[in-house]
Amino acid sequence: MSQNEFVTDAVVIGAGPCGLFAVFELGLLDLKCHVIDILDRPGGQCAELYPEKPIYDIPGFPVITGQGLTDNLLQQIAPFGPQFHFNRMVTDLERQEDGSFRLTTDADEVFHAKVVVVAAGGGSFQPKRPPVDGIEAYEGKSVFYSVRRMDDFRDQDVVIVGGGDSALDWALNLQPIARSLTLVHRRDAFRAAPDSVNKMKAMVGDGKISLVIGQIAKIDGEDGQLKAIHFSTDAGDMTVPATRLLPFFGLTMKLGPVADWGLELNDNLIAVDTEKFQSSIPGIFAIGDISAYPGKLKLILSGFHEAALMAQAAKKVVSPDERVVFQYTTSSTKLQKKLGVA
């Protein structure tokens, strides 16, 4: 077997919170996992889009950041030694005669697994780029589509474009550390949470945030560093100083090669049952935002529940002749030994 070929019990596609917790639930049942993700780090959308943004609906954590949740999950699954493969996309999936699967990535790796767990969110996601000439030259230097480190915006002239939750949340969070902050939206109506809109308008009234109703016309700068942004408004053209630009025009979610695997889809999501969270192909499961079933809620905590039931079903696929006794981590010394806490 070549160094680019791997044999494992389960391949988990997606290293977001649901994929990471799937590793935990599978590990409790002695199933070994390889995890593949198109991003360059674990955490999925939590780490990519809002690593420092607070999350308030994770049970047991009144507040936790996306990165904090990711870090905790990585600590939780460490005893099971999952192998991660980042900057990879699964391009091909073939079901073998014995019911197992052969997966190939765009890095020419081959995985042989008895079960596949798709936890890929909405698929691979890409930010929508503003229709501004030459903006590509500034991306990653002074134009960003997410906030990975708030310090990158400290003492900067920050311009945020958009009217949804991301735009409003980051306007409120970055204002205290920015030299100046300008929020731009094409109309004076916002899609964000009413509380965020009210807080933003109060800060505009206090002169802490500048609000521009208009659209970007062009940008000025050199060598990837912004200097100013020009806007078109009903009152005419205007220019504001800008050293950082955050356009929040939404994300384009692409299902990618998953669409070609012969799975039953429901509005570009993988249709599953609610007993096993198994797809239309036995042995392929889907959890988290990419799964579809009646009553589905796109919440991280829902994905955790889905992972727990999926793992029980996956164990029966991998070890059909083994009798599995359900155990609690609070009372099972066997499980506590696996976790290294006994």
pLDDT at residue 123, as a whole number: 65
Task: Give tens-digit pLDDT for 64-82.
Answer: 998 899 999 999 999 999 9
Shared-domain flag, residues 176 and 95:
no
Same domain, 38 and 113: yes
Q: Is the dihedral of CA 262, 15, 324, 273 positive or negative?
A: negative
- Same structural domain, 23 and 106: yes
Instruction: Choose one of 208, 230, 248: the last residue of a domain.
Output: 248
Q: Are residues 9 and 114 in the same domain?
A: yes
74 and 148 co-located in one domain = no
CATH of residue 187's domain is: 3.50.50.60
Q: Whole-number mean pLDDT of the chain?
A: 92
The dihedral over CA atoms of 83, 84, 85, 91, expressed in degrees to the nearest 10, equals 80
Question: Is the pLDDT at 272 greater than 90, yes or no?
Answer: yes
Same domain, 55 and 152: no
What DSSP string runs through 213-263?
Answer: EEEEEEEEEETTEEEEEEEEETTEEEEEE-SEEEE---EEEE-GGGGGS--
The predicted model gives 134-144 an average pLDDT of 94
Please indicate, yes or no, whether residues 138 and 224 belong to a single structural domain of this protein: yes
Q: Which of 248, 277, 312 is the last residue of a domain?
A: 248
Q: Which domain covers residue 171, as residue numbers?
A: 129-248
Tell me how far the alpha carbon of residue 271 is from its chain's centroid: 20
Q: Average pLDDT in the 239-258 region? A: 85
Tens digit of pLDDT for each residue in 146-176?
887 899 999 999 999 999 888 999 999 999 9
**Count of domains for the chain:** 2
Q: What is the pLDDT of residue 41?
A: 83
27-31, 51-55, 314-318: the lowest-pLDDT one: 51-55
Between the alpha carbon of residue 257 and those of residues 48, 84, 104, 201, the distances in Å are 21, 20, 11, 43
Predicted TM-score (pTM) above 0.85:
no
